[in-house]
Amino acid sequence: MPVYPGSRAVRVASVTTVEDDGARVTELDLDTHVGTHVDAPAHTLADGKTLDEFPLSAFSFDALVVDCTGVGEREPIGVDALPDPTDHDLLVVRTDWSEHWGTERYRDHPYLTADAAAWCGDHGYSVGLDTFGPDPTPSADPARERDGEPDGLPAHDALFAAECLVVENLRGLSRLPAEFELTALPLALEAEASPVRAVATTDS
């Protein structure tokens, strides 16, 4: 499984087996930001909320897809790409960068500008993405990084300042309609993030 640069690889190991021990037990070693996962404000804000401080209903979203498939490698997604305000509570930024899952190019995804993230926060939108996250990810080839890319995690910070959630590493968005229900339930952890099983529900 691809992991964010600097994170250790996921390890899945057999502890016991039915044949030798009478029961199968598997050990799972991973950090909370691998695969499809949800970030809470405590990820980048020292006084931000952890996942357990949100009601369970906060992880069931009325989602609207924002088609950003025309945005290129390591290019910013600005406020002008976002829709007029709606009653949805999650904007799903579709870049189709998930097609590069498992390759080094996955790290060279488009990203939200801080202004775009702040606009989402101002309008009460959490954000879902089919990328490593709303901010640029360090490239496997630093020569591909562009002048003017923001330092740090300003898009995360802007969303978390508004107590919005971020769902990262979504896949399969090309098979979904523009509007759907997304359920992304985290483990019940006092933590800044958790892997989720992201499930889309549509009317069709």
Residues 6+ apart with CB under 8 A from 126: 61, 89, 90, 91, 120, 159, 164, 165, 166, 167
The pLDDT of residue 198: 98
∠ CA 110-6-133, rounded to 5°:
25
The pLDDT of residue 201: 97
Q: Is 153 helix (H, G, I), strand (E, B) or coil?
A: coil
Is residue 52 within 8 Å of 80, Cβ to Cβ? no
CA–CA distance, 164 with 166 (Å, rounded to integer): 7
Per-residue pLDDT of the chain (204 residues; tens, 9 = 90+): 889 999 999 999 999 999 999 999 999 999 999 999 999 999 999 999 999 999 999 999 999 999 999 999 999 999 999 999 999 999 999 999 999 999 999 999 999 999 999 999 999 999 999 999 999 999 999 999 999 999 999 999 999 999 999 999 999 999 999 999 999 999 999 999 999 999 999 987
Match domain 32-201 to its CATH number in 3.40.50.300, 3.40.120.10, 3.90.1640.30, 3.50.30.50: 3.50.30.50
The pLDDT of residue 52: 97
The pLDDT of residue 183: 98
The pLDDT of residue 2: 84
- Dihedral of CA atoms 109, 32, 50, 56 in degrees, nearest 10, equals 90
Q: HSE (CB half, 13 Å, CA atoms) of 44?
A: 19
Which residues partner with 111 through β-bridges?
76
The pLDDT of residue 1: 81
With both helix axes pointing from N to C terminus, report the angle between 154-161 and 114-122 in degrees, rounded to the nearest 10: 10
